[in-house]
Amino acid sequence: MAVPAAVVVVPLGVLFLVSGLIVNFVQAACYVAIRPFSKSTYRRINRLLAELLWLQLVWLVDWWAGVKIRLYADSESFKSMGKEHALVISNHRSDIDWLVGWILAQRSGCLGSTLAVMKKSSKFLPVIGWSMWFTEYLFLERSWAKDEDTLKSGLQRLKDFPQPFWLALFVEGTRFTPAKLMAAQEYAASQGLPIPRNVLIPRTKGFVSAVNNMRSFVPAIYDMTVSIPKDSHSPTMLRILKGHPSVVHVHMKRHPMNELPQTDEGIAQWCRDIFVEKDALLDKHLAQDTYGEEDYKPIVRPLKSLLVVIFWAGLISAAAFKFFKWSSLLSTWKGMALTILALFMVTACMHAFILFSQSDRVEICQGCTGSSKEIIGFSV
């Protein structure tokens, strides 16, 4: 991490980690004191608590870096966003695709109830992983034999969720890279499948399970396509922390769940067909640098995330000032050494968070090309 980046990361890291630990503590207290008696009440409270943490990341994108997200959707899809449970599938082009989804969820009013399927190890990540666990993210081990029942039970637990939620699935299972595209093209040619140009071949086992377990209470699938215009840099978490602006184009299309086939193979083929259509849509975007201005839906950046950051910054600054004044920590060499150590730990934690954002949530394993060896295909 470059020195200029560290200068930015430390204060933002202190803000995020300290406020996150406060949120985690309150989440834990609610989990113990409220959830055993009323799961619905706990979920409503936890949604608000999660937003107090997630809105800081929304602020990073909207206000700190000034990333512009342009949404393209037909009127029906746009009006439905945030008003119903939805299964969200997307291509996976950058390390902040999950954050783009969070921002759209925030604009739709359901940020605190946005969910995803993650690697089991993710829940041990301080602050962000712990908050995801309290928010009922699903954590899997990347082994279908072990994960099938875990996934089924986790999805069924969402049946009585009291407010609209989005469950995000990146069914390609890994981030798009030229090397992975070449491997996908070779596999498609060997199997007689359409040759992909802008996407990877979706891994449908997890998607089929999600549809079968959720079709009775989730009315729609949102097909999200993410792309970067030619004149913009691809956003990364490090670029955002440095305050570098960018532009992201997102196309959203609603598909009623009741229109999907009833058989497992039919559902899998529906998913593959959607990605063939997505590939063609990305070809159009590459040629025109837009998804069609007639479908453009303006979404303004909210004041809410700015107010949340101001609240946390004021609270933590006041508390820190009183603590250092009371403890005289900076008046001794030992105290200064402890303070420097704490700041170093904050930097290390934020570096780990950046690496977390860059890592694939579910990786392609060696030789997993045939359907008999197919991995689950989920990530955030």
Q: What is the CATH number of the domain that holds 170?
A: 3.40.1130
What is the per-residue DSSP string for 30-78? HHHHTTTT-HHHHHHHHHHHHHHHHHHHHHIIIIIS--EEEEEE-HHHH
pLDDT at site 289: 93
Q: Which residues contact 305 (CB under 8 A, 6 or more apart)?
A: 55, 56, 58, 59, 62, 63, 106
Q: Does residue 132 form part of some domain?
A: yes
Q: In this predicted structure, what is the pLDDT of residue 334?
A: 73
Per-residue confidence (pLDDT) for residue 120, from 0 to 100 = 85
Model pTM greater than 0.85? yes
Residue 364 located in a structural domain: yes
Residue 322 in domain? no
**Which residue in this structure is represented by tokens 């950051």?**
309
- Inside any domain, residue 258: yes
pLDDT attached to residue 88: 96
Note down the domain range covering 102.
Answer: 3-305+351-373
The verdict on residue 83 lying in a domain is: yes
Rounded distance, CA 246 to CA 69, Å? 9
Task: Please state the three-class secondary structure of 8-38 as a single string.
Answer: HHHHHHHHHHHHHHHHHHHHHHHHHHCCCCC
Average pLDDT by stretches of 10, the chain with 380 residues:
58 88 97 96 96 95 93 96 96 87 94 90 87 93 83 93 93 89 94 94 92 96 95 87 92 96 96 96 95 92 93 93 78 75 73 63 37 39
Nearest CA among 20, 59, 54, 18 for reference residue 243: 59
Structure tokens at 274: 């959607």
Residue 190 placed within a domain = yes
Q: How many domains does the chain have?
A: 1
Block residue for tokens 């690697």: 119
The three-state secondary structure class of 170 is coil
pLDDT at 361: 45
C-alpha dihedral (286, 290, 295, 298), degrees to nearest 10: 140
Question: Cα dihedral angle (3, 9, 11, 14), rounded to 10 degrees?
Answer: -130
Cβ count near 12 (within 10 Å): 18
Of residues 128, 100, 126, 112, the one with CA closest to residue 51: 112
CA distances, 326 to each of 8, 15, 323, 340 (Å):
27, 21, 5, 18
Is 180 within a domain?
yes
Angle at 214 between CA 108 and CA 70, to 5 degrees: 25
pLDDT of amino acid 153: 92
Report the C-alpha gap between 78 and 76 in whole angstroms.
Answer: 5
Q: How does pLDDT run across 304-340, given as a tens digit for each residue?
A: 999 999 999 999 999 988 877 787 776 777 777 777 7
Task: Please list, in sequence order, all residues whose beta carbon lies within 8 angstroms of the beta carbon of residue 139, skipping any fewer than 6 positions away.
Answer: 117, 118, 119, 120, 122, 123, 133
pLDDT in tens, 79-91: 999 999 999 999 9
Domain membership flag for residue 321: no
Half-sphere exposure for 274 (CA within 13 Å, toward CB):
27
Distance CA 57, CA 104 (A): 13
Buried b (16+ CB within 10 A) or exposed e, 155-171: beebeebeebbbbbbbb
The pLDDT value recorded for residue 117 is 86
